[in-house]
Structure 1
């Protein structure tokens, strides 16, 4: 932009103006038919061979559209084309022989091989700033510019400015639409990942607008319209009336509603929450209602499991206290001293604790019989890998079976450590585990055989440990314990019904 007045250069380089240009106008190397139509109309209005639309940028003009000449031949650095930006009172600048004007002469370029003899231009305003000009040029003089011609050129320049603004708005809308589409896609993915469905209802019609996720949650046919009747009909009958009452009451008060219900066909638990878009809604007045439905089946199952665990824990605590009370009384009656009572009772409490620990590790589910045996025998074996041989079937016990059998195994291991095979380093306990299916269900067969220990003599009287071995399984119907004080080692055979092998 050579030979321009300083104030015009300053206005062209204004930061606010340049920022508006960069935001509102896209510089493109491709012709835009809309702008080409404007320059063609301008040239025809003035019966001139050429017309152009230029945008005045910071350092150099650039061509938006041209008529009657090649884009590459347009002298974009010429200051003549931006002079209309300086117009204040007149809407159009028109001059014959601009080269004879002292101020304009240095900026007059040659076009199509000749000097410009006629020039007319009008500023183009975009979003309140002068972005560029619509110019008509000719290598021949014109008799003059009528008022109507000047107004027409100004209108065409205004049309170009409006076109820029419309195209900017259209680009903004496309960007907003794409952003909205991306947001909706993210929203849809988030709802799907969280197993959440969304719906809306106008408050009066029968049909509910919803996504396919709601049909899936309510176990309704895919693709078919969801109606008020089908929605309510999907709710379990025992919860249907309460759900409808909560829904209507909340909407009539203009409050958000929230209720839980069970799907009749699947048993799935759902949480529905939402409210009206524009305040209270009544049956007669209607009003847009929107909502979301969340699958809370896993939460409900966790709550149910927690309640069952608490009941189970309460039952186990009572049973354990009863066992401890019984053990304390029986041990005390058969102890000759406080020290003897303390040793025997502490061992039995530790055995009970070990069984509880195993059950807690398995969340009071089934535990391996081999794990139970090793936990009870380990405190009494000098070398459990060498002295204890466990073989046979893999058997699992429920909590009641584990507690009862755990006490028996403790007493057998304790007696073996005092009097039997585990009292000497050469002794071995051979344990065979078997499980067979019979007419009355699975049955455990466990054989405890001690070898390599001291000579066994039948006891003169039975202590509590011997009684505990023989009677601990009495509560389990169908169980049987046979004890044989064989001279070469104690032999115990246990038969006990199981829930499963």
Structure 2
């Protein structure tokens, strides 16, 4: 407690320090704020009624009195409570106005600093401002000129406007509390909305009796609902793919009847490939156990569904590739052993071919069997620097993407050609050169035309030296429909023309 001040009589000080009054004042927001335009209007209005130079809307605190409106006293925000006229006014036993006709003759105020010096108050009239049953301050008028009397009608207007001021205080305080609460709720809603949005979660609340669903924007987007307006449960069912509706209905019905959580996955009717999972629970039932409110969330699981489908397709494709590859390896092994009865020769020949198949598989697996660049296939046989540092090699053609079967077949062809070129052809001679060129042709159909030309090597007598290699070259593209391989064993060097049909978008 603050010590009492001698200038205030004991009974006035007791009212100023009343615990309930101070608790009301403490709970009341804004009593220490700056001047308020609405209170300014009240002060100006009452000043005109009384014809005074000054009018105030005051809040009387334990030690200080604040001015929420201050007509005629620019730059003044309040004064000490011990010099307050209004402190005496709120100490009166009733709610009537207090009038001081001549403060210089009134024993309570004649020695008050506000009377003996500026603004030298001579006349005062004030009515209490009451909030929550407690007198928190006053609406008052002041003048340097004393008066002989006051019209009772003026005092009635003073009391009425003081009542308006009290109502304004209460309304403004309630508005501040509401605004603060609304702001806190809005921040919380934003936080939840951002959390749900980040998690791609559509939240919903179903009023089972009315059939209406309250939901967030994410839910509306998931089910292709209008951005605004009421959503009914029938609309949600219509948005579900016809093949999945009964399954979703059964899950919801089981939740409504047995209380189990609903958990269903379904496609959206108008969005191909969009899958949603719906989870819900009955949160409110009436006294007879009938469901009233069901709440839940929907999540977009399209990516996981697509990923699972891609994995299944990839495994299916991989199984197919493995079977084809095993068949290819068996064929190559049988033909190699027929050509090479010596175990060492068989191992050497078969290992190179098997390594070529393996390296092609590694390239394709790294790209999920989507295809391989031609430069990568060439690099396996010619070395990674075949373009930048060619050795007895000429290469002409732009890199393109090859489908999986094309890459495997062409890889085996290039392996046989490079192996035979080193053994019998151009690269078996110090002056021999291999020229590889290719281009994309549109006629007779879209495809790759690749040429292999050897020169400068030993004279080629026949294709017998190539033996199995020649047969492998001719058969390596058997999996690629409409492909062609033409070998020409010219005396000046082997010539090979390869034709591979390609998808139109290959580049």
Q: Do Structure 1 and Structure 2 share a fold, with TM-score over 0.5?
A: yes
Distance 1:435 1:177, change over 3 A: same
| Structure 1 residue 337, shift from structure 2 partner | 5.1
Deviation at 1:228, TM superposition (A): 3.6
Query: CA-to-partner distance for each residue in 1:165-217, whole Å, 9 max, x for gaps?
Result: 43122023234445555665676677677765554432133554556765654
Partner residue, 1:247: 252
Query: Is this contact kept in 1: 2:213–2:232, CA < 8 A?
Result: yes
Q: Which moved more, 1:189-198 or 1:244-253?
A: 189-198
Q: Could you tell me how far apart the structure 1 residues matched to 2:231 and 2:172 are?
A: 41
Q: Tell me which residue corresponds to 1:487.
A: 491
Q: Using a 3 Å threshold, how does the CA distance of structure 1 residues 135 and 499 change in structure 2: closer, same or farther?
A: closer
Q: Which residue of 1 aligns with 2:320?
A: 315
Rounded Cα–Cα distance in structure 1 between residues aligned with 2:503 and 2:363: 18
Pick one of 298, 302, 306 that aligns with 2:311.
Answer: 306
The residue that corresponds to 1:36 in the other structure is 42
| Counterpart check, 1:169 vs 2:171 | no
The answer to whether residue 86 in structure 2 is matched with residue 80 in structure 1 is no
Structure 2 distance, partners of 1:18, 1:181, is 28
Q: Output the CA distance in 2 between the equivalents of 1:120 and 1:383.
A: 101
TM-score (norm 1): 0.74
Residue 30 of structure 1, CA deviation? 4.2
Matches of 2:305 and 2:287 in 1, distance apart? Answer: 32
Q: Using the alignment, how far apart are the partners of 2:466 and 2:222 within structure 1?
A: 65
List per-residue Cα deviations over 1:280-335 (Å, max 9, x = no partner): 58999451334444443333222211211122222223333443444445445544
Structure 1's unaligned 5+ residue stretches are none
Cα distance in 2, alignment partners of residues 430 and 223 from structure 1: 69
Instruction: Name the residue aligned to 1:365.
Output: 370
Mark the CA change 1:170 to 1:262 in structure 2 (over 3 Å): closer, same or farther: same
Counterpart in 2 of 1:70?
72
- State the alpha-carbon separation in 2 of the partners of residues 491 and 380 from structure 1: 24
Q: Distance in 1 between matches of 2:302 and 2:190?
A: 26
Match of 2:392 in 1: 387
2:403 to 388, 398, 406: 398
- Where does 1:337-348 land on structure 2 (aligned, <5 Å)? 339-348=344-353
In 2, the alpha carbon distance for the partners of 1:131 and 1:282 equals 49
Mapping for residues 54-453 of structure 1, pairs under 5 Å? 54-55=58-59, 61-65=65-69, 70-72=72-74, 76-77=78-79, 79-81=82-84, 84=87, 101=107, 105-109=111-115, 115-116=121-122, 132-133=137-138, 140=146, 160=165, 163-178=168-183, 180=185, 197-209=202-214, 217-219=222-224, 226-275=231-280, 278-280=283-285, 285-332=290-337, 334-335=339-340, 339-378=344-383, 385-392=390-397, 395-437=400-442, 441-453=445-457
Go from structure 1 to structure 2 and tell me whether the alpha carbon gap of 1:215 and 1:134 turns closer, same or farther (over 3 Å shift).
Answer: closer
Secondary structure of the residue that 1:264 maps to in structure 2?
Answer: coil
SS across alignment from 2:177: helix
Structure 1 pair 413–381 and aligned structure 2 pair: CA distance change class (3 A): farther
Structure 1 CA distance for aligned equivalents of residues 305 and 256 of structure 2:
26
Secondary structure (helix, strand or coil) at the match of 1:288 reads strand
| Structure 1 CA distance for aligned equivalents of residues 168 and 334 of structure 2 | 101
The TM-score normalised by the length of structure 2 is 0.74
* CA distance in 1: counterparts of 2:77 and 2:306, whole angstroms: 79
- Three-state SS of the structure 1 residue aligned to 2:74 is helix
Distance 1:31 1:436, change over 3 A: closer
Aligned match of 2:31 in 22, 25, 33? 25
1:224 and 1:22 mapped to 2: Cα distance? 40
State the distance in 1 between where 2:286 and 2:273 align.
29
Secondary structure in structure 1 of the residue aligned to 2:328: helix
In the alignment of these two chains, the number of paired residues is: 485
| Larger displacement relative to structure 2 (388-397 or 353-362) | 388-397
- Asked if structure 2 preserves the Cα contact closer than 8 Å seen for 1:380 and 1:417, the reply is no
1:283–1:397 CA distance, 2 compared to 1 (3 A): farther
Report the RMSD for the aligned CA atoms in angstroms: 5.1
Separation in structure 2 between the aligned mates of residue 126 and residue 110 of structure 1, nearest angstrom = 36
Contact 2:206 2:233 (8 Å CA) reproduced = no
**Cα deviation per residue 1:61-112 (whole Å; 9 max; x = unaligned)?**
432235xx62339794364217728988956896967666489824443599
Secondary structure at the counterpart of residue 279 of structure 1: strand
**Cα distance in 2, alignment partners of residues 73 and 459 from structure 1:** 113
Q: Where do 5+ consecutive residues of structure 2 fail to align? A: none
State whether structure 2 residue 473 is matched by structure 1 residue 469: yes
